[in-house]
């Protein structure tokens, strides 16, 4: 069945804004969607005094919604400070596009996530924040999982309360995670597992990561 797109999505797909690359960019990030593997690259010009994003362009390696959401994201980002960008949510993008089909919601998650990643890198490069190294204990692993997003909602699996069990054995270097997933998230099982492994395996000392899923009684 053909997907129903809003007029704005079609406009931004057929005539995307701010396409390309800023040659002397201050920040850059390429991110892939854990849900489908599509990618976006952003390049940004950020004023170091005012912390305002003065220019932003994108290249898309993905679907029509990937292009439309990235295009709308550049419009929303231009002229905003990095703190305002950190507060943007994927729903701000979908609302500005008059909605997206449910199966394409993750495209807006990727669009905003990649932009925030470019801003995050810029902050690290400018000594404003440190690249965090998490500790191999319960709190450290939980903290690292806060960066792991549910591709459907764009909300971290911790904030979304998807973690049912978390067991960490620092001496053995092992981490066991059980997640409860509702029916709507079942299509993202592999993507979520991959994202969890990537985050947890980055913690020094981790040797084994076991991820298990449990069906949730209610959907949401």
Respond yes or no: is residue 107 known to be catalytic: yes
Interface residues for ligand FES in 30-49 (CB under 6 A)?
33, 36, 38
Q: Does 107 bind ligand FES (CB under 6 A)?
A: yes
At residue 168, the 3 state secondary structure works out as strand
- Nearer Cβ to ligand FES, position 101 or 170? 101
Interface residues for ligand FES in 146-185 (CB under 6 A)?
none
- Nearer Cβ to ligand FES, position 32 or 170? 32
Q: Does 93 bind ligand FES (CB under 6 A)?
A: no
C-alpha to C-alpha distances, 82 to 52, 76, 89, 117, 216, nearest whole angstrom: 6, 12, 13, 11, 37
Closest C-alpha to 136, from 180, 173, 178 = 173
At residue 43, the 3 state secondary structure works out as strand
Respond yes or no: is residue 182 known to be catalytic: no
Q: Does 110 bind ligand FES (CB under 6 A)?
A: yes
Q: Which two tokens stand for residue 184?
A: 């709507």
- Nearer Cβ to ligand FES, position 27 or 68? 68
Count CB neighbours of 215 within 10 A: 9
Q: Does 82 bind ligand FES (CB under 6 A)?
A: no
Instruction: Give me the least distance between CB of 9 and ligand FES, in Å please.
Output: 11
Q: Active-site residue among 63, 107, 148, 216?
A: 107
The angle at the Cα of 150, spanning 149 to 153, to the nearest 5 degrees, equals: 110
- For the four alpha carbons of 134, 46, 63 and 162, in that order, the dihedral sign comes to positive
Which residues form the interface with ligand FES (CB under 6 A)?
33, 36, 38, 62-63, 65-66, 104, 106-107, 110
Residues with a catalytic annotation lie at 36, 107
């Amino acid at each position: 069945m053909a997907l129903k797109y809003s007029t704005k999505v079609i406009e931004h797909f057929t005539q995307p804004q701010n396409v390309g690359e800023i040659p002397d960019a201050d920040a850059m990030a390429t991110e892939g969607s854990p849900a489908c593997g599509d990618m976006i690259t952003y390049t940004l010009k950020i004023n170091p005094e005012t912390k305002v994003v003065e220019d932003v362009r994108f290249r898309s390696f993905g679907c029509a919604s990937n292009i439309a959401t990235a295009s709308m994201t550049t419009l929303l980002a231009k002229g905003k400070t990095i703190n305002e960008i950190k507060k943007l949510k994927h729903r701000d993008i979908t609302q500005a596009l008059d909605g997206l089909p449910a199966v394409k919601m993750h495209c807006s998650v990727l669009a905003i996530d990649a932009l925030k990643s470019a801003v995050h890198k810029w902050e690290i490069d400018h000594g404003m924040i440190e690249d965090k190294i998490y500790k191999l204990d319960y709190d450290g692993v939980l903290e690292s999982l806060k960066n792991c997003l549910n591709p459907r909602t764009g909300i971290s699996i911790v904030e979304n309360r998807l973690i049912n069990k978390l067991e960490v054995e620092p001496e053995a270097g092992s981490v066991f995670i059980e997640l409860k997933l509702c029916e709507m998230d079942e299509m993202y099982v592999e993507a979520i597992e991959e994202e969890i492994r990537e985050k947890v395996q980055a913690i020094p000392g981790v040797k084994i990561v076991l991820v298990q899923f449990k069906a949730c009684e209610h959907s949401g």
